[in-house]
Amino acid sequence: MDRLNEIFMSVMDDSDQIIKESQNAENPLAILFRTVLEEQKDTCGKLIDSLQRKEQDFKTYKKEISILFHDDSIADSTFRAWGRAITWQDESEAEHVNDIDLLFQRIKKNLKEAAKELEDQFGQETIKYAVPELYLPKTQREDGQ
């Protein structure tokens, strides 16, 4: 559970960093992904609190886990649309978009690691409706399980 705590703390920090680095963007897509990242940060905080209370039942985490992964999916796709629009409008912003993209990639990597940790601790059958298949190791998806 300590590893999950570290992962969720990292996701929370990266989400906060993205919000700060994009705070001057007034594009509706930027506002949308920042709003989703705020929810993602709050959800990570709730998960960290539950982990610190040493909750052992997955049902305690299920709702927040589901929200966390869903938020990542929405924020990532919205960020990509914003990045394309910004880069198309002003090529000088491409480096800024790339910097933020690196943070999104790190969040995705951390959530894939969290999915593996959750699977190891609770089993694939328990997490299958909370953790999207996209985040689970490829070997499992290829086996059709």
Domains of the chain: 2-142 (1.20.120)
pLDDT tens by residue, 6-58? 999 999 999 999 999 999 988 999 999 999 999 999 999 999 999 898 877 89
Q: Which two tokens stand for residue 129?
A: 């409706």
Alpha carbons 94 and 14: distance in angstroms, whole number: 19
Q: Which two tokens stand for residue 105?
A: 């990639």
pLDDT interval class at 144 (50, 70, 90): low
Percentage with pLDDT > 90 across the chain: 78
pLDDT tops 70 at residue 141: no
Q: Which two tokens stand for residue 69?
A: 């992964």
